[in-house]
Chain A
């Protein structure tokens, strides 16, 4: 909802579709650049410390990669027994192109790639 209104306010040559999210379990943490860092960190700590989650998966895309790494490292600092296992991937994003001039103009799509990181934060001895 919020994404749609913000896009309408700002007319541009293309609109970015939201990135695909394969799964959203309770242990999938998607890091963006807008969420408050401390709030997200304490939320992750609570999830890990309560024991309800054995492992967390921290995902970061594009500009949020640095924040995702920071989040995982801060978690490890707070809980030194946890281990980190990072992997990288490429995510295909779709932009909707809007021809300038009128609403009746043809609109196409364009694909581009962006880098992503996925960090598994887990305790070693617990299975």
Chain B
């Protein structure tokens, strides 16, 4: 392995259709990468969404960049307002090609192809209503700028009260499980299994 170096990474599903139904034909897709600057992404997305005739925008990311994509979508929702959202998560297959390196390279340079499954996210933001029955749909939250964090938190609280009601029957179990989650465990296992 020491004599190998990564030549390229190919995203397998690049040409495949996006996981959304009823997409507008002119939809902008933002491919958020690890090194992308949130400032640049949001600046482009804002001017795109504020211009006439644009309806939808998609933020897509895999691996380490998913957090960045969510942050961009959240900022955009706050700035534009009234956006309907559908979030989809799936595995994306990455094809990594490793090539032998060193002074002596055999005539057919031996390559090693590795397939990796990376968690990825696609966030569709739309000015027009989307199907509320679709998995991962979020209606627009009309938030005044500045108080966003607090308000979102409150709206979560209201859905949680519903959740707590359903859990009331097995409360004894609840305590036990809560402790178990809290317990700090050894983190030696790799997360990308």
- A interface residues, Cβ below 8 angstroms from B: 2, 20, 22-30, 33-40, 43, 47, 52, 57, 62-63, 65-67, 69-70, 72-74, 83-92, 111, 113, 115-119
Contacts and interface: CB of A to CB of B under 8 A. Distances in A.
Given A25-B163, A35-B181, A72 B89 contact: yes
B126 interface: no
A44 B16 CA distance: 31
Interface string B125-161: 0000000000111100000000011101100110011
A63 B67 contact: yes
Contact of B89 (A90, A113, A119): A119
A118 B89 CA distance: 11
Contacts, number: 136
What is the predominant secondary structure among interface residues of chain B facing chain A?
A: helix
Interface residues of B, number: 53
Contacts of A38: 189, 193
A34 B184 contact: yes
Question: What 4 pairs between A and B have smallest CB-CB spacing?
Answer: A92-B149, A25-B167, A36-B185, A23-B160
A67 B89 CA distance: 12
A87 to B, nearest CB: 5
Given A28-B163, A38-B189, A86-B89, A73 B135 contact: no
Contacts of A73: 89-91, 119
Given A69-B89, A113-B148, A62 B160 contact: no
Given A35-B187, A66-B67, A88-B85, 7 more contacts: A22-B157, A70-B193, A73-B89, A74-B193, A84-B136, A88-B70, A115-B71
Contacts of B87: 86-88, 117
Contacts of B148: 90, 113
Interface in B103-129: 119, 121, 123
Contacts of B85: 87-88
B40 interface: no
B99 to A, nearest CB: 28
A42 to B, nearest CB: 12
B135 A43 contact: no
Contacts of B67: 62-63, 65-66, 115
Interface string B87-99: 1111100000000
Contacts of B174: 24-26
Nearest to A117: B70
A16 B30 CA distance: 32
A111 B149 contact: yes
